[in-house]
A and B are shown apart, each in its own frame.
Chain A
Amino acid sequence: MLKKILSYVGEYKKTAILCPLSILGEVVMEVLIPYVMASIINNGIRKDNVGHVAIMGIIMVVMALVSLAFGALAGRFGAVASVGFAKNLRKALFEKVQAFSFSNVDKFSSASLTTRLTTDVNNVQMAFMMFIRTAVRAPMMLIFALFMAITTNAKLSLVFVVAIPVLAAIIFMIMSKAHPRFKAMLTLYDNMNGRVQENLIGIRTVKAFVREDYEKKRFVESTEAVRAAQVNAEKLVILTMPFMQLCMYASIISILFFGGHIIVDGDMLTGDLTQFITYVTQILMSLMMLSFMLMMFVISRASLQRIYEVLTEEVDIVSPENAITEVKNGSVSFKNVSFSYFKDMNNLALEKINLNIESGETIGVIGGTGSSKTTLVQLIPRLYDATEGQVLVGGRDVREYDIEALRGNVAMVLQKNVLFTGTIKENLKWGNADATDEEIIEACKQACAHDFITSFPNGYNQNLGQGGVNVSGGQKQRLCIARALLKKPKILILDDSTSAVDTATDASIRKAFRENLGDVTTFIIAQRISSVQEADRIIVMDDGKISDIGTHKELLETSEIYREVYDSQQKGGDADAS
């Protein structure tokens, strides 16, 4: 997993390697500097040799400058590499998601995909920066400082034999105990935020039922739970610092004690003692740093995992090689098609569908919720692949077409439709980037959108805001229809696309279609009988099967379901007519 994700460092590989290399330089300097310091004290000050102090002082200044240069370079390299890595990762994820099929998107849900592209990438970036900056620094510092300590005085270095394992063991114990507690806390934290989110979305429901106090009570419960869990987890983590201090102080005291003896015995010089103390700090600090790095890695592991899942997700719908790029006509046929969202033949959404539709026909689709109307039409532009059987468009299996060519000719207006930030015109141009103003106006007239668009102060250049918040539901649906019409498709599918449009407008849209789109095969999924009753044929869906097919008149006689639906919408009308 790590290897795959790290491959996205890409062109920043060189920088990513230069960063630890510069740090190596910095570390060497940092370890040598105390050595020079000791020399200043031992050979300079102690021996009243001002010349030596000056020379060593200048050497130290030079070393500090070199170390500074290395440090600054490492900082720069680290920033460039980690931010660049995040950029590549984000780009790869975004492009991967763009390649996703509907079933891939269903599997992840858009909220979770968004988190993966934002928060998770950010976590990985931070962890990576931390990694390239400390992965070398900490162990190198540990080794160099230890080496210098041993060369200074091997006997005194025995202190580290005790101090390092003790501190490492303590840190390890704390971390391994704290980790599950942190996880528990995060779950509670997510629950709490979920509660807030629900209240934001459902604020009207909360207020309508006067449940403010009830919600407050529940929220207080969850914040209290978060607080308790936080205390539970953090009370362990805050132990690391005091233990680290204890270890450090204990080491310093023992070094001073034993060092004092050694010096008095004449085996060591006073300057070495301060040098040693610097090494203690460096060694134990790098141990702390290592443990932090470990923690960072553990925290980011979940993010890595989630990113990895997206990157390795198999896109199940791609254009075949030698794909057909031209759709001959708008005929559609289903040959023995069964479909399951879970690729499970025991859990079918569509069962053995056989259907032949000629180019230019208008087909109504009607049926209760959950009868798989949407599922049926989604197979035509190959948004999903049939689990069994064949779907043909223009006489060829949809799997033989270039996807872009197929979807360019099969325009679908989705039930859950979306407009994007930008002007009306920009949104409409999704259908055809090269559309002229005349073509746009023409399409909008057919979708009965032209009138309300021109009533906006900025007309076609009116800004829609995110998700098209500045237009009503019915207006949004009509814009979505116009957007699809701009594709000039051979097949047009309207999936309950006029549910928020009033009946009169709905009727005139259909009238415009009939007059202008005579040769376009049109599928109209609707709840209202009125929306489909003038179609050439009407398909009645029931529980994933085609229950009946026929014209309005025929179905009224043959289909019980159709008649029931008709009656449920008709009652008053009949009474009125009589």
Chain B
Amino acid sequence: MPPKKNMVPVQKPKDIKGIIKRIFSYMYGFKIQFFLVVAGVILSAVAGIAGNALLTPLVNNIEEACKSGEWDKKSFVGILLVMAAIYAAGAMAGFLYQRMMMKISTTTLMRIRNDLFNKMESLPVKFFDKRTHGELMSLYTNDTDTIREMLSNSIANFISSAITIVGVFALMIAYSWILTIIVIVMLFIIVGVIGAIGSRSSKGFIAQQTAIGKANGYIEELIGGQKVVKVFCHEEIANAEFDKLNNELCDAATKAHTFANILMPIMNNLSYLHYAATAIVGGIMSVSGFGGMNIGKLISYLQFTRQFAQPITQVSQQLNAVLTALAGAERIFAVIDEEPEADEGYVTLVNAVRGADGTLAEADKKTGLWAWKHPHKADGTVTYTEVRGHVEFDDVVFGYEPEKIVLNGISLYADAGQKIAFVGSTGAGKTTITNLINRFYDVPDGKIRYDGININKIKKSDLRRSQSIVLQDTHLFTGTVMENIRYGKLDATDEEVYAAAKLANAHGFITHLEKGYDTMLTADGANLSQGQRQLLAIARAAIADPPVLILDEATSSIDTRTEALIEKGMDSLMEGRTVFVIAHRLSTVRNSKAIMVLENGKIIERGSHDALIEQKGKYYQLYTGMFELA
């Protein structure tokens, strides 16, 4: 079983220039600081070079003293003082630019994260269907990490390296063009070596990434299903399988790291070779006095050869890291560039008051009466419609993917305050219907009407605010029980929270928790049982007090006895609201106003429980199926 997930894409960004530009665009407000950083980098690099350049007069000064026995001590100390000043300035500049760069990079990173998250929140549900959580999480962890690395190290390093290389090279030419020929030869060798090793190393790292992806995917999957492995005594097969992946990873990683490791010693010693060559040629020149060479110049020049090699090594070492970071940035920007959830809705939800003549008018405070504010573009008038929760489907055809139709011509209506149930086997399209009511997915215009208004004209956020949903997989958030219930209505008072919890029959177990309502829920509420979590989810939906309620297998994890206990609460929760219920358990849906039996995306039967039983169709079969073997 080869795991197919977690394949890390090849770490090479497509549009390097565009990405760099875009990363820089996140540094807005730091223009001056950024120039100061560049200036600081230049200053500190120049200080390093200039300090070394001063060695020449210093050594010559000493040489002079040795030869003549007369020491010009004043200029000796003078040179040292200048040198000290330059060095101090360099260190100072280094500190300042690093400090500033840190501020820029942390802020930039924060902005990118915020942008990414903001975008993520506004993306349609469809987007999340297509991607694994791991894939999206790695944008926040791996990819932002590599960008941070790049911002805080590589940028300054690149600038400083470039300055050093150019500066040192210029000085070298100025000191002796003949010796510089050796430098140029060296440069060709260096570029050749970096090219050869670098490309092998980056190939190695790509292979390593793939191998890591495979091995980690296998680890994640097998350990996630560890209990199943145990039950089937599958341990040895798993070990053998993992061994194979582990060895592949080991081979790839060894290759990658070998090339990365040997680059440094090769570059380092190349510079020694360079040094030796320079010393020999320079020595000959100095002895013969050719090209104005003298001992002081030569010593400085020899220092230059060392200084020259270092930044080249650094750049070559960081090149891979930068490319990886840019590839990560590209992935992040790709998500930021995703089309957000489209919403052309302009009908909004407002508080309303009823005038003496029965017409509605907008109110600026809570009235308990909600209305749809519907501006008409054609004549500029505004009409108000009371929010009642009337839902109508008209021949809705829908598929998550165009070629796979899930709903095939669904027509139905729910009058305000009615309880409508959907039953049918898994995959019949029950959940899909509720996904359309709150516009997680969109259908063509005019097919679904909500209080008589085309659902696509209603602003998504307002539409959803008028509905509450309790899903089978209850998602609670890190926070206290209180905060989790309050999620349904952020400004709810403590009393309202208690009332909602009581309604959902959750108050009892909450007060038995260690810290009651202040108990922290962690890791998706793992410290509660599935049933308790569902009760909290019901309380959360109750506190929102919406006209429409969608219960998607809301009570499936609650045993029937407990369900019977909370039935009263559920009944009072559902009272006066339009309720859509999806349940496997037919006992849950029995008292619905209308029951729709779905099969293969079609409503095959509809009616009240009694009528459907009378009909002796599919529902009857399903229902009596419970007892057919009795």
Contact = CB atoms under 8 A, between A and B. Distances in A.
A576 B128 CA distance: 44
B230 A101 contact: yes
A208 interface: yes
A165 interface: no
Interface stretch (B24-32, B182-190, B215-223, B442-450): B215-223
A501 B235 CA distance: 29
A136 B576 CA distance: 78
Contacts of B465: 210
Interface string B536-563: 0000100010000000000011111111
Interface on chain A toward B: helix, strand, loop, or mixed SS? helix
Contacts of A474: 425-427
A230 B558 CA distance: 45
A480 to B, nearest CB: 8
Interface in B225-251: 225-239, 242-243, 246-247, 249-250
Interface residues of A, number: 171
Given A60-B275, A75-B260, A260-B80, 16 more contacts: A67-B269, A71-B264, A79-B256, A87-B250, A94-B246, A98-B236, A118-B219, A253-B83, A367-B559, A408-B233, A487-B232, A503-B586, A527-B585, A568-B561, A569-B626, A572-B590
A205 B121 contact: no
Nearest to A474: B426
A68 B274 CA distance: 13
Given A53-B284, A227-B106, A274-B302, A202 B630 contact: no
Give the interface size bracket for B toward A.
Answer: 35 or more
A149 interface: no
Nearest to B263: A75
B250 A84 contact: yes
A413 B25 CA distance: 55
B283 interface: yes
7 pairs of A and B residues whose beta carbons are closest in the complex: A71-B265, A75-B261, A202-B475, A53-B283, A418-B225, A79-B257, A64-B272
Given A53-B284, A421-B4, A571-B587, A264 B65 contact: yes
Nearest to B108: A227
A314 interface: no
Interface string A504-532: 11110011000000000000000110100
Contact of B478 (A58, A195, A203, A422): A195
B125 A76 contact: no
A259 to B, nearest CB: 8
A431 B232 contact: yes
A363 to B, nearest CB: 16
Nearest to B434: A208
Interface stretch (B84-92, B163-171, B371-379, B408-416): B84-92
Given A53-B283, A57-B280, A201-B133, A507 B95 contact: no
Contacts of B1: 420-422, 426
A193 interface: yes
B242 A94 contact: yes
Nearest to A214: B490
A239 B612 CA distance: 78
A234 B587 CA distance: 61
Query: Could you say which of B4, B76, B231 has the most chain A C-beta atoms within 10 Å of its C-beta?
Result: B231
B629 A209 contact: no
Contact of B261 (A76, A87, A367): A76
A246 B215 CA distance: 46
Contacts of A33: 272, 275
Given A57-B276, A264-B65, A416 B227 contact: yes
Given A210-B464, A245-B94, A84 B254 contact: yes
Q: Which of B66, B228, B427, B564 has the largest number of chain A CB atoms within 10 A?
A: B228
A465 B221 CA distance: 11
Contacts of A500: 426, 584
A322 B34 CA distance: 74
Contact of B219 (A40, A94, A257, A483): A94
A557 interface: no
B4 A26 contact: no
Nearest to A213: B121
B180 interface: no
A200 B621 contact: no
